[in-house]
Amino acid sequence: MDLVEFQGKQLFARNGVPVPAAGSVCRTVDEIVAAAEEHLGGGASAVVVKAQVKTGGRGKAGGVKLATTVDEAREHAESILGLDIKGHVVNVVYVEPASDIAEEYYLSVMHDRVNKGHLVICSREGGVEIEEVNRTNPDAVVKRPLLPADTVDGLSPATATEIVTEAELPAEVRDAAAGLLVALFNAYRAEDATLAEINPLIRTTDDRVLALDAKVSLDGSAAFRHDGYEEWKIDGIDADDPLEAEAKAKGIQYVKLDGNVGVLGNGAGLVMATLDVVAQNGGRAANFLDVGGGASADAMAESLALVLKDPSVKSVFVNIFGGITRGEDVANGVIEATKRLGDFPQTLVVRLDGTNAAEGRRLLEEAALANVVAAATMQDAAAKAVELAGQA
């Protein structure tokens, strides 16, 4: 689950990561004007009016604007509310007392699958896209993998100091930045985040360091440890992908991807291999879906229905390896599921292997379903599914 900026800052603040003075969450021009009045009247020399959407690059898109007067804040309110930023319409705006920026840095902690641990990235060049800095000036980007053993008692101040020193953050703010990094790592761990990114981390004109922006992703698999993340649900901001939300409610392991070949398999490992073989054949998977061990007709029908609901799905690759589940049960599941679903335009390419596969394939053949074709191997099935998706 991704948080919007003001939520990320709340999460940072409660874990001791320094952020600017608290602002106001607004939904109307009047609320923004009132918030600007309050903060400007309370001593802030300016306020920053910030679109709250789950995408980056808000500044460039006109979604982050400074105001020194209430009238200016009103103008910004009018231009930012309703703005479309990369498909995300702005319904919520955060009005924050502005910070005086001396310099902008970059700092993040994220899951590091390659190293089976965590990764800290720190750069003295922040406020721009870190991928861009990494391309143009890779020496300015410090990437430090942390193994679980390095972080048994949290991130040590010594390691944090090494990282910010290597990134050449100025001596005046080094200690503060190291302290902030220790707190950021604690926040990331305590809140079960998969990403905690600060871009920019700023040095203020009076040499404090603050998280001026916050991008936090929480691990959906840890939701049960945090009351289902209820506290972060907010009206007016797109939650998860609607199909993922539906899958979660039904207990289906589904992840939306951006291709057009629907994928359904049994076992997470097989499904991942299926995504790979689709890619190797020049296609792009529309989703990950693991029907799990049983692959009963019910599970099959619900899962297929979900995959087919995605308007970008042009063909579906059903990849089942019979283990404990026998081939004839899988075949009956597919047959039953397609009957229940009635008419649908996409073709299912079914690859069935493992226990009693021949029996299963025979059942599928006998059923002679109009929109189901059988394939002998995973490679054949992938090629066929990609071809069909291309034709559709």
User: What residues are labeled active site?
Assistant: 106, 197
Distance CA 90, CA 79 (A): 10
* Candidate segments 7-15, 93-101, 261-269, 297-305, binder of ligand GDP by CB under 6 A: 93-101
Distance CA 124, CA 79 (A): 32
Token pair 């995300």: residue = 88
* Candidate segments 55-63, 140-148, 313-321, 373-381, binder of ligand GDP by CB under 6 A: 55-63
Smallest distance from the beta carbon of 91 to ligand GDP, in angstroms?
16
Instruction: Considering the complex, state which of residue 57 and residue 145 has its C-beta at the smaller distance from ligand GDP.
Output: 57
Helix residue ranges per DSSP H, 191-326: 242-250, 268-280, 297-309
- Residue 57 sits in the site that holds ligand GDP (CB under 6 A): yes
When binding is defined by CB under 6 A, the residue of 213, 302, 328, 329 that contacts ligand GDP is: 213
Distance from the first to the final alpha carbon of the chain:
33
Query: Can you give the length of the chain in residues?
Result: 392
Residue 154 is classified by DSSP as B
Distance CA 48, CA 105 (A): 19
* Candidate segments 37-45, 98-106, 150-158, 313-321, binder of ligand GDP by CB under 6 A: 98-106
- Residue 144 sits in the site that holds ligand GDP (CB under 6 A): no
Instruction: Considering the complex, state which of residue 24 and residue 287 has its C-beta at the smaller distance from ligand GDP.
Output: 24
Distance CA 281, CA 190 (A): 42
Cis peptide before 200 (omega within 30 of 0): yes
When binding is defined by CB under 6 A, the residue of 62, 127, 154, 220 that contacts ligand GDP is: 127
- Residue 62 sits in the site that holds ligand GDP (CB under 6 A): no
265's enclosing H/E stretch is: strand 261-265
- Residue 296 sits in the site that holds Mn ion (CB under 5 A): no
Do β-strands 372-375 and 315-322 pair in parallel, antiparallel, or remain unpaired? unpaired
Smallest distance from the beta carbon of 126 to ligand GDP, in angstroms?
7
Residue list 193-252, contact with Mn ion (CB under 5 A): 199, 213
> Could you tell me which of 99, 13, 18, 10 has the C-alpha nearest to residue 52?
10
CB of 270 closer than 8 Å to CB of 317: no
Instruction: Considering the complex, state which of residue 123 and residue 199 has its C-beta at the smaller distance from Mn ion.
Output: 199
Residue list 294-313, contact with ligand GDP (CB under 6 A): none
64 interface partner picked from Mn ion, ligand GDP, none, CB below 5 to 8 A per type:
ligand GDP
Helix (H, G, I), strand (E, B) or coil at 272: helix
- Residue 200 sits in the site that holds ligand GDP (CB under 6 A): yes
99 interface partner picked from ligand GDP, Mn ion, none, CB below 5 to 8 A per type:
ligand GDP
CB of 386 closer than 8 Å to CB of 282: yes
Smallest distance from the beta carbon of 131 to ligand GDP, in angstroms?
13
Instruction: Considering the complex, state which of residue 57 and residue 236 has its C-beta at the smaller distance from ligand GDP.
Output: 57
* Candidate segments 59-67, 87-95, 250-258, 356-364, binder of ligand GDP by CB under 6 A: 59-67
Burial class (CB in 10 A: 0-12, 13-18, 19+), 377: exposed
Distance CA 305, CA 31 (A): 43
When binding is defined by CB under 6 A, the residue of 2, 104, 310, 329 that contacts ligand GDP is: 104
Distance CA 61, CA 79 (A): 11
Residue 127 is classified by DSSP as S
Instruction: Considering the complex, state which of residue 8 and residue 327 has its C-beta at the smaller distance from Mn ion.
Output: 8
* Candidate segments 52-60, 72-80, 181-189, 321-329, binder of ligand GDP by CB under 6 A: 52-60
When binding is defined by CB under 6 A, the residue of 10, 99, 287, 296 that contacts ligand GDP is: 99
Distance CA 277, CA 323 (A): 21
Distance CA 337, CA 83 (A): 42
Contact residues: ligand GDP, CB under 6 A: 48, 56-59, 64, 66, 98-99, 101, 104, 127, 199-200, 212-213
Contact residues: Mn ion, CB under 5 A: 199, 213
